[in-house]
Amino acid sequence: MKNLSYADIDNTVLGTLQPAGRLYWLTIVLLFGGILIGMGCWAYLIFFGIGVGGQNNPCFWGTYIINFVFWVGIAHSGTLISAILHLLRAGWRNPIARAAETMTVFAVCTAGLFPLLHVGRIWVIYYMLPLPSQRTLWPNFQSPLIFDMVAISTYLTVSALFWYTGLIPDLAIIRDRSTGVRQNIFKILSLGWTGKFEQWRHYSRIYLMFAALATPLVISVHSVVSWDFALGITPGWHTTIFAPYFVAGAIHSGLAMVLTLMIPLRKIFKTEKIITMNVLESVAKTIVFTGLIVGFAYGTEQFIAWYSHNIVEVETFHYRTFGHYALGFWIMVICNSIVPLLFFFKSIRTSIPWLLVISILVNIGMWFERFVIIITSVAHDFIPHTWGTYSPTLVEFGIMLMSFSMFFFLFLLFVKHMPSISMTEMKELVHEEQSHG
Amino acid sequence: MDDKQVKVTGLFKDEHQAAGTITAVKDSAWKLIDVHGPIPSEVISNALKLRPSMVGWFALAGGIIGFLCGYFLAVFTATRWDLIVGGKPIMAYVPFFIVGFEFTILFAVMGNILGLILLMKLPAYRDLADYSPDCSGEHFGVVVGCDIRDEAEVKTLLADRGAEIRT
């Protein structure tokens, strides 16, 4: 990194904004097709009602909530990387911070779709807002679902503002190197930034304040999501371990998604000089750490169920491990806590194919974690005669396809039209490394 | 600036050279108008004797207002439907802290953004007139204001200290 000049950084990043080829646009069209399929499924749901999904009595929560929790989880690594690691002065975060923040913003947008879908009657969604409606009823602020609405909307606002604030100096760089309409667009977007030291004086402090505020927020958001479950008395959910367990799981899945996106991106955009193997290796080491926490949480849940001698709790965890959805449980355990241990071997965590494969496996494992937590608990409640099963319908698969398509569609549009690596933060990193020999 | 005044910009690749020039200009009769750079530099900030930003106060004020708004919104809405359910009190004072906390962060960030707008005076499209685009790349730009008759002298000062000159 020391050998990079500021011009090298600018040229490499600006090179990623060159007009795209046919393959890029073909991918964009395919992803847009995925979005259209999902929109069609949503329209079908609105027309025929929420019953077109596989949700039933007792499984009232299905893939809409599974995907909601999954995407909120994916959103967590961006803030971890941009805020927490910024406060910890971890230099390896700089090359991937922008992409991770972008991932956060788009993942929260995607997550935000699912409560809208899940309520079915989207046109009365304003019931969730703290407004005196025609029902003369206000939202119940004692409900974890309303905590969640407040937390997610705060998280979306804060991460979008943090992301945009970080972009301002880079937008000015693009403005200074472009002409015509493009220059005018970036002139407006960069808000007239000139890099005056009077601006830097406030900017550095503002960025630090953002990081300091986003850090407790990111911890709170997934804790609040976990309380959607833990504040209910449903067996398998009603436990104090849920908040830290969910936060660790969220960061675990988010870091895996960072690897899944960064590995092809650095190859396509030829940014290997900036997103070095050391950066990917550092992400892999953090995945080992979060994987161990998640594995510990799986073990603790099982242990506490056994140790409590509570027959309902014991039955729930027995069902999770060996019941209808045992395959999902074992995918979850193997992909999230056993496979990442391979990163203990340097040869594996420095191998691009291994990094990519393991990151995808962790993503699959984390999706199944949400499936197992949500479905096995509601399907196998207190009273045996109410037990049931759940399987998603084609409508739900279509909507799931929409969520993945939308996330990758937005991300791909961003990386081709905006700087996906923070030039300013890279220059700061190079400056720091050169200053310290 | 009247007709007899000009602005000369010296572009430096090295922050120490720029800092030395800043000190020299401040000690002279000429006016140091602005210093631009691609990254924040502690060396240059020290030469400019910049004080820490006050933006933290905006965030603090936002945070306090946010907590009060969030907490009392929850209290107010609870009093609008004062039906006792399961013998539980109408006011759930402890869970309301969660709403208060989220509003604290939200409003503190809004305060931060207000600080950005007011203290950094953004948007600032007029500033682009005196700005050299090289300063977003790899140069630190020192903008000096002087009488037109001193222009050559200022250019010499900047050039002697390793600057490329822009007028």
Residue B154 lies in domain: 5-52+126-166
In whole angstroms, what is the distance from residue A289 CA to residue A93 CA? 16
Whether the per-residue pLDDT at B2 is higher than 60: the answer is no
Q: Which of A168, A166, A210 is nearest to A187 (CA)?
A: A168
Q: Please answer yes or no on whether B80 and A136 come within 8 Å at the CB atom.
A: yes
| Residue in B98, B121, B132 to test binding to A, most A beta-carbons within 10 Å | B98
- Residue A437's pLDDT is 63
Q: pTM, whole model, 2 decimals?
A: 0.93
Interface test with chain B among A137, A145, A154, by most B beta carbons within 10 Å: A154
CATH of the domain at B140: 3.30.70
A239 CA to chain B: closest CA distance, Å?
Answer: 17
Residues B85 and B71: their CA atoms lie apart, in Å, by 21
Integer Cα distance of A411 and A103 in angstroms? 7
Tell me whether residues B135 and A194 touch, CB distance under 8 A: yes
Chain B residues within an 8 Å CB radius of A196: 34-36, 127
Query: What CATH number has the domain bearing residue A424?
Result: 1.20.1630.10
Instruction: Single out the residue of A25, A99, A106 nearest to residue A266, CA to CA.
Output: A99
User: Which pair of tokens denotes residue A179?
Assistant: 């002409």
Tens of each residue's pLDDT in chain A, 437 residues: 667 889 999 999 999 998 888 999 999 999 999 999 999 999 999 999 999 999 999 999 999 999 999 999 999 878 888 888 888 888 888 899 999 999 999 999 999 999 999 988 999 888 888 887 777 788 888 889 999 999 999 999 999 999 999 999 999 999 999 999 999 999 999 999 999 999 999 999 999 999 999 999 999 998 999 999 999 999 999 999 999 999 999 999 999 999 999 999 999 988 898 999 999 999 999 999 999 999 999 999 999 999 999 999 999 999 999 999 999 999 999 999 999 999 999 999 999 999 999 999 999 999 999 999 999 999 998 999 989 999 999 999 999 999 999 999 999 999 999 999 999 999 999 988 888 76
* Residue in A closest to B131 by C-alpha: A194
Domain coverage including residue A180:
6-431
A133 in contact with chain B, both atoms CB, cutoff 8 A: no
3-state secondary structure of A252: helix
Residues B101, A220: C-beta atoms closer than 8 Å: yes
* Chain B residues touching A195 at Cβ < 8 A: 36-38, 135-136
Give me A214's structure tokens: 């986003």
Q: What is the mean pLDDT of chain B?
A: 90
Q: How far apart are CA B61 and CA B55, in angstroms?
A: 10
Residue A437 lies in a domain: no
Burial profile A391-402: b = 16 or more Cβ within 10 angstroms, e = fewer: ebbebbebbbbb
Residue at A436 is within a domain: no
Mean pLDDT to the nearest integer, B83-107 = 92
Instruction: Report CB contact under 8 Å: A150, B103.
Output: yes
- Give the pLDDT confidence score for residue B3 in this predicted structure: 59
Asked if residue B154 and residue B134 are part of one domain, the reply reads: yes
pLDDT for the residue numbered A81: 82
d(CA A236, CA A226) in angstroms, rounded, equals 12
Number of domains observed in the structure of chain B: 2
Write out chain A residues lying below 8 Å of B125, CB-based.
Answer: 187, 191-192
Residue with tokens 């909601």: A68
Q: Within an 8 Å CB–CB cutoff, is residue A142 touching chain B? A: yes
Tell me: do B75 and B111 sit in the same domain. yes
- Residue A4 has a pLDDT of 84
B68 and B90 inside one domain: yes
Residue A138 domain-assigned?
yes
Give how far Cα B37 sits from Cα of A76, A274, A360, B66, B115, Å.
32, 22, 41, 35, 21
- Quote the longest CA-to-CA distance of chain A: 72
Contact status, residue A117 vs residue A38, Cβ threshold 8 Å = no
Shared-domain flag, residues B111 and B131: no
Same domain, B113 and B73: yes
- Cβ-based contacts of B117 with chain A (< 8 Å): none
The whole-number pLDDT of residue A171 equals: 95
Together in a domain, B110 and B135: no
Question: Is residue B98 domain-shared with residue B60, that is, in the same domain?
Answer: yes
| Selection from A392, A394, A354, A353 nearest residue A370 by Cα | A392
pLDDT in tens, B73-89: 999 988 888 888 888 88
Chain B hits for A161, CB-CB cut-off 8 Å, are 109, 113
When divided into structural domains, chain A yields a total of: 1
Give backbone dihedrals phi and psi of B62, rounded to 5 degrees, phi first: -60, -45
Note the pLDDT of residue B162. 87
Q: Could you tell me if B79 and B65 lie in one domain?
A: yes
Partners of B6 in the β-ladder: B146
Answer yes or no: do A6 and B138 touch at CB < 8 A: yes
The answer to whether the bond into A264 is cis (omega within 30° of 0) is no
Does residue A259 form part of some domain? yes
Q: Does A44 reside within a domain? A: yes
